[in-house]
Chain A
């Protein structure tokens, strides 16, 4: 089928899907069936190639940061913005950006893909750059084991042609890097790292030392191009290629701030001679991405949505945001995209919420209530139905700021409800 026809057809399907209020992957599936080489052909046009960002936590916000940083340097970027990071989501996003002749107005594509889908993606399209963020237990019921996930990241690195940027604090990712630095056939592939100052390490446990007697001993670490030295409510300090810099940040939360080091290292690998000051200025303007610490205003008060997917992410989120002065809700679903297994809740310490009675919702509200019972955290109410819960939660706490920790599909449902009450940022 001629490319032009597929594109118009695909665009029409996408328009209809949006009218019906959802479905970010259907048009992509449609195109995939009619024209399977659509994605590789379209991306092959890009002069600077494709960047793949993968890892367990932080892909979406990091991608958003990388896009902002590249655009600040005048680069035209195509990205899969919706957070549906399956290959079909990329096809759907492309359909929204190309003209009817199939031309993409961009210099480079920056794509976030979860590990399993990235492996399939790189079989067909070799990325020029890849960023490996972290390997954590995330929805074990989807991938099976952390070591399997680490192997997937190896495959992504193996397919990359120009540079691989890695988290030097993550042991499994370090091993991927080590395999490359000792492999003579990969001389042309550049490796670089982002990392943490030693004093910040206790904020970022990995799954192996979650319950171990003492945290993992530091081994010799590779030199990092960008190191996060320190941070506070206002901003952060970095060491970049040996020089010290500080910048205010709109991004909040320890994990977002560490990921900004990743974004800086990646952009420096893509455009080696950028002026650090202009990069940091662009970084200081970035706000959190879709659903990851997103804030909407409801009846004059901020309401924050904080996505939680796994123990490490939930722990960091609870540490990043003080419950004082806020009403807190936790919404836990167990649909496929959330993870079906409730075991992960038991690896999170909720005692920081002790003085803030929690409103609990979601399909598995009672599992969450059970969890809080054992941490002796007070509960305001348990209401599994999200629509009821949201409106009651808002009316119980109209005059104070509110925060909802939610799993993925709970977040989508809450955003949909919220858009009926208030203005919510349009994502696509």
Chain B
């Protein structure tokens, strides 16, 4: 599922890995493919509700493998539609119940209200996270589930709770588009460093100039909803 510019997340990871001196390899997973034996980073994006229905059955098949990778600390970033299906379930407005793969202890309900616009959140790990949300699903976290960030301006998981996204080990689920990683390179570097250290034990000393990301963030932070 990828109609929402989340391709930007892939590009950011690829480039930053190259700039850090590594050789990334992308494996695109489509319905019916077999999963590789292992993966260093998993990312997945948003799509329309109709897209979710299409991939659902296949996702359930690979769910257990993804869950074992998540339990093992594999870093993952799942946005919007895939964030929802990484939870317990997604129930649409007309009552259709889509079972999720349960990596995140969350549930999502389709609603008539679209939560849409610029959003600024704050995470203790990453500082401010700035992006754009656009979803009519409202997500609720179970008691033990940690949110990704708290909302400073915007809606987030639902219209009441003031938190955004969810975390499990090194898995990040979020509603943020923008795309999320370009303007929030600390999140990208978290995924990269976790993966690299897991594989090689240490991380390169290269430094990336994130001046444009910083300046884009400052503009984005002050844009109207």
Contacts and interface: CB of A to CB of B under 8 A. Distances in A.
Interface of A: 137, 140-141, 144-147, 207-208, 210-213, 311, 334, 340-347, 363-364, 366-367, 369-371, 373-374, 376, 382, 384
Contacts, number: 98
Given A147-B49, A346-B5, A366-B216, 8 more contacts: A144-B136, A345-B8, A346-B11, A347-B8, A367-B220, A370-B212, A370-B216, A374-B182
A347 B223 contact: no
A341 B134 contact: yes
A347 B5 contact: yes
Given A343-B178, A367-B183, A373-B212, A141 B5 contact: no
A340 B132 CA distance: 8
Interface string B196-223: 0000000000000000110110111001
| B interface bracket (residues with beta carbon within 8 Å of A) | 35 or more
17 contacts: A140-B134, A141-B134, A146-B48, A211-B7, A340-B224, A341-B177, A342-B5, A342-B132, A342-B178, A343-B8, A346-B5, A366-B216, A367-B216, A367-B219, A370-B182, A370-B216, A374-B182
A74 B116 CA distance: 48
Given A341-B177, A344-B5, A141 B212 contact: no
Residue among A342, A343, A344, A346 with max Cβ neighbours from chain B (10 Å):
A343
Interface of B: 2-8, 11-12, 15, 28, 30, 48-50, 114, 116-118, 132, 134, 136, 177-179, 182-183, 212-213, 215-216, 218-220, 223-224
B116 to A, nearest CB: 6
Nearest to B117: A340
A145 B48 contact: yes
A314 to B, nearest CB: 12
Given A213-B30, A344-B5, A374-B12, A364 B177 contact: no
A141 B116 contact: yes
Nearest to A311: B5
A366 B219 CA distance: 8
Contacts of B224: 340
A212 B31 CA distance: 11
Contacts of A146: 3, 48
Contacts of A371: 182
B49 A145 contact: yes
Contact of B179 (A147, A207, A343, A382): A343
A3 to B, nearest CB: 40
Contacts of A140: 4, 134
Nearest to B214: A366
B132 A346 contact: no
A364 B216 CA distance: 7
B57 to A, nearest CB: 18
Contacts of A370: 182-183, 212-213, 216
A346 B179 contact: yes
A147 B48 contact: yes
A384 B15 CA distance: 25
Contacts of A369: 212, 215-216
A366 B130 CA distance: 14
A336 to B, nearest CB: 9
